[in-house]
Amino acid sequence: LWPWLLASSGLSALVQLVTLPFFPDSPSYLLIQKGNEEACRKAIRKLWGEGDHQAEIDDIMKEKGAMASTKTLRVLEVIKERSLRWQLYILMTVMTTLQLCGINAIYFYSFEVFHTAEFEEYLIPYVSLGVGLCECLSSILCSTLIDRFGRKVLLWGGYLLMCSVLALLTMTLSLQHRFFWMHYFSVILIFLFVVFFGIGP
């Protein structure tokens, strides 16, 4: 039934397609982009109820003023701009490490590891589903941790722990023919890797 499971993501898209026309436009969009203050006031009243919302409108006007004084750069201008060089390097580093961190390899080979660990054939899809659920829950956990520790700590810590887990996983996969319990240790490491990926990168 996996095609139905895959198609189920279309349900949320359908709900959005049907309900979004009934929602008001963003007040900041109406005021900044469209320049329509009356429509902005109506949208604010619809979203937040009746009352004096002049403070919110003033904030949007300040944002509009700040945006007017900021020059919009094209991609080539961003690359050439010296003041943005370090931000660009950091962004490229984060995106590259995210692509090369090994999560795709873990997902690709996890089925084989579960099979080698002698899980029953019918249980393997559920264990794989558990891996995905682990990532989902750890991503939710990350949203609560990010305020306390900050992005840098979570990124560094996540990558450091992922490296450690990959080193251990390489060792357990190499030794799995000598010790029967290494298979199960490999499964635990896969779950840990996914948790650290969800909390960090």
DSSP 41-110: HHHHHHHH-SS--HHHHHHHHHHHHHHHHSPPPPHHHHHH-GGGHHHHHHHHHHHHHHHTSSHHHHHHHH
What number of CA atoms fall less than 13 Å from residue 190's CA on the CB side? 27
Whether this prediction's pTM lies above 0.85 is answered by no
Residues of the chain with pLDDT under 50: none
> What integer pLDDT is reported at residue 163 of this predicted model?
92
Residue 97: count of CB within 10 angstroms of its CB: 13
What does the pLDDT look like over 59-105, one tens digit per residue?
A: 888 887 777 767 777 888 888 888 888 989 988 988 898 888 888 88
> What integer pLDDT is reported at residue 168 of this predicted model?
94
> What integer pLDDT is reported at residue 18 of this predicted model?
94
> What integer pLDDT is reported at residue 14 of this predicted model?
93
> What integer pLDDT is reported at residue 17 of this predicted model?
93
Closest CA to 190 of 96, 100, 105: 105
